[in-house]
Amino acid sequence: MHINRSSTHHVWDRTIAPVAEIASGTELTVDTVEASGGQLTPDSTAADVAGLDFDRVNPVTGPFLVPGARPGDALAVDILEMSVGGWGWTACIPGFGLLAEDFTEPRLRISTIAEGHAELLPGLRIPVVPMVGTIGVAPPENGPHSMVPPRRWGGNMDIRHLGPGARLLLPVGVPGALLSLGDTHAAMGDGEVAGTGVETDGSVRLRVTLLPGAAPVTPVLETDPRTHRSGRALATTGIGPDLMTASRDAVRALVDEVVRRTGLAPADAYLLASVAADLKISELVDAPNWVVSAHLELALLDG
């Protein structure tokens, strides 16, 4: 089964008619649209970012009805294979992102994607580690629900490890489950700090298996080693009593350090962090101060 990217929706809603039925155990290929929903192209500029219609962002392909699925069951989604488009976009969108107060101007970078790399800036090649940003099932509560926040039912979780080889367990919220996915990335850092990865069209081959009565409280993953990074890294820290503030401080420090080492514009360093840095909670038990660290492979700064 192959579902193309014309079958999308822009909100979660249990009343949206399914585009296909997939029996438990079925393998299917799902084409996905990049997160602007066609509003951005390789020729777009920062002005187009400022004019993005948020009612059209983050389309997902689906929903897929799984016969027999009921609330209390789990859907196991194995991501078997995945390809991404030939270009991608990464943007700083005013009012959006971890450091929205620092970076108030729109900014857009178009990457060419080829030979396993996305070229975010001339000569700055990010290894492609494809992943699915948004995957989830219809919430049981009536009415439309925004595509932006993730929920117990999955959705826009932006977990970097949801790529080929990963298995995702989602709780089923409504009869038939109504699975949808989209928001594919060629690369993204833990935290997606600027709010975007390398946003690109994708094609995802997956297998869906129904596990009766096995609903987890929140989504559970098994990750694949390909989504781990292992090179020598630069790591900066934020230290204080609030994890969000500490996260901001860590990312600010990373941006400053990258700028100091490379001469990149701060906003470009911020985008680089968004697609290639990992936000880790290093410590949250030594009251009253917690440590968040932001890690970036040093090899990315050598270019």
Q: Where does this chain bind a copy of itself (CB under 8 A)?
A: 96-98, 148-152, 156-161, 165, 190-195, 216-225, 228-239, 243-244, 247, 249-250, 253, 256-257, 278-289, 291-293, 295, 298
Nearer to a copy of itself, 203 or 274 (CB): 274
Nearer to a copy of itself, 50 or 243 (CB): 243
Q: How far is the CB of 244 from a copy of itself (least distance, A)?
A: 6
Q: How far is the CB of 83 from a copy of itself (least distance, A)?
A: 22
Q: How far is the CB of 177 from a copy of itself (least distance, A)?
A: 18
Nearer to a copy of itself, 253 or 259 (CB): 253
Q: How far is the CB of 6 from a copy of itself (least distance, A)?
A: 25
Q: How far is 28 from 62, CA to CA, in rounded Å?
A: 12
CB 271 within 8 A of CB 120: yes
Amino acid at 77: V
Burial environment of residue 142 by CB neighbours within 10 A (0 to 12, 13 to 18, 19 or more): exposed
Q: How far is 117 from 114, CA to CA, in rounded Å?
A: 6
What is the β-pairing status of strands 60-65 and 20-21?
A: parallel
Nearer to a copy of itself, 81 or 224 (CB): 224
Burial environment of residue 198 by CB neighbours within 10 A (0 to 12, 13 to 18, 19 or more): buried
Q: How far is the CB of 35 from a copy of itself (least distance, A)?
A: 11
